[in-house]
């Protein structure tokens, strides 16, 4: 049973560019959340997707957007990249109403 | 803000039990206590969760005080691979759309 998978694992972008990160949830899970983790900090909640809609958003600007597909996989898009967007981006999945959330290994984004 | 308080760091000798405390004095009746750990540069790993009864699984035991204002995660026989940041998190049953709120966690160092 594959867990939460994310791609790419590492990438480097230039300030002002746009990036798309991808996530496949654990088998049987229908809810996907995204987190940003800056170096030395705990993960910060960006938003959650369920039934292809954004259900809840943390304190992140509109430059951060997402999408969920009918197969429950998800994408995180970040526009107009800033140096401060350099971080580990984590995807987490769960079954709606369930109590356990599982994380992927993350995508390391470096903005130069 | 995180609703939990944890020591910044702890040491434990290899082979001994590691006991990680967490205070959650404002926990609500429907909130679970979750523990995750994060080994350097990897995604957070789910360890265990509980409501009011003590819980045990293959990784750890969770002891929750009767008033539910604090808990202790116990790793019975710590190994070097248990060196990680351990996060204690409180979250409502079923979770809803809210993401996990991570604090700074406890950096557990297992000494050989």
CB contact under 8 A, B99 and A55: no
3-state secondary structure of A99: coil
For residue B108, list its beta bridge partners.
Answer: B10, B84
For residue A53, list its beta bridge partners.
Answer: A50
Whether residue B3 is predicted with pLDDT greater than 90 in this model: the reply is no
Mean pLDDT of B98-108: 90
C-alpha closest to that of B35 among B21, B46, B23: B46
Whether residue B30 is predicted with pLDDT greater than 90 in this model: the reply is no
pLDDT at residue B95, as a whole number: 64
CA A74 to the chain's CA centroid: 8
3-state secondary structure of B80: helix
The Cα A86–Cα A4 span in angstroms is 22
C-alpha closest to that of A62 among A79, A37, A83: A79
Lowest mean pLDDT among A71-85, A95-109, B9-23: A95-109
DSSP alpha helices (H): ranges in B37-108? none
3-state secondary structure of A5: strand
Q: pLDDT per residue over B36-58, tens digit each?
A: 999 988 999 999 999 998 999 99
pLDDT at residue B60, as a whole number: 98
CB contact under 8 A, A42 and B87: yes
With a CB cutoff of 8 Å and minimum separation 6, the contacts of A97 are: B94, B95
CB contact under 8 A, A42 and B41: no
pLDDT at residue A2, as a whole number: 72
DSSP alpha helices (H): ranges in chain B? none
Which chain B residues have a beta carbon less than 8 Å from that of A103? Answer: 36, 43-46
Q: CB-based contact (8 Å) between A103 and chain B?
A: yes
Whether residue A67 is predicted with pLDDT greater than 70 in this model: the reply is yes
CB contact under 8 A, B43 and A100: no
The Cα B73–Cα B10 span in angstroms is 13
Which chain B residues have a beta carbon less than 8 Å from that of A35? Answer: 99-100
Q: pLDDT per residue over B93-102, tens digit each?
A: 766 667 889 9
CB contact under 8 A, A98 and B95: yes
C-alpha closest to that of A6 among A83, A82, A105, A101: A105
Is residue A20 within 8 A of residue A77, CB to CB? The reply is: yes
Which chain A residues have a beta carbon less than 8 Å from that of B45? Answer: 103
**Mean of the per-residue pLDDT values for chain B?**
93
Which chain A residues have a beta carbon less than 8 Å from that of B97? Answer: 48, 50, 55-56
Chosen for mutation from B30, B35, B97 (greatest number of chain A CBs closer than 10 Å) is: B97
The Cα B50–Cα B65 span in angstroms is 11
């Amino acid at each position: 049973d594959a867990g939460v998978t994310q791609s790419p694992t590492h990438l480097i972008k230039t300030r002002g560019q746009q990036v798309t990160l991808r996530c496949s949830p654990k088998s049987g899970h229908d809810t996907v959340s995204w987190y940003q983790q800056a170096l030395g900090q705990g993960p910060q909640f960006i938003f959650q997707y369920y039934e292809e809609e954004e259900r809840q958003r943390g304190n992140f600007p509109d430059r951060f957007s997402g999408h969920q597909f009918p197969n429950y996989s998800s994408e995180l898009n970040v526009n107009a990249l800033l140096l401060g967007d350099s971080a580990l981006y984590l995807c987490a999945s769960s079954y709606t109403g369930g109590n356990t959330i599982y994380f992927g290994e993350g995508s390391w984004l470096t903005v130069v | 803000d995180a609703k939990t308080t944890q020591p910044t760091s702890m040491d434990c000798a290899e082979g001994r039990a590691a006991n990680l405390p967490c205070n959650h004095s404002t926990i609500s009746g429907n909130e679970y206590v979750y523990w995750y750990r994060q080994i350097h540069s990897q995604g957070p790993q789910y360890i265990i969760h509980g409501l009011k009864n003590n819980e045990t699984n293959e990784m750890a035991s969770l002891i929750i005080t009767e008033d539910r204002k604090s808990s202790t995660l116990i790793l019975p026989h710590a190994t070097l691979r248990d060196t990680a940041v351990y996060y204690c998190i409180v979250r409502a049953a079923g979770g809803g759309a809210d993401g996990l709120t991570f604090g700074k966690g406890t950096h557990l160092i297992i000494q050989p």
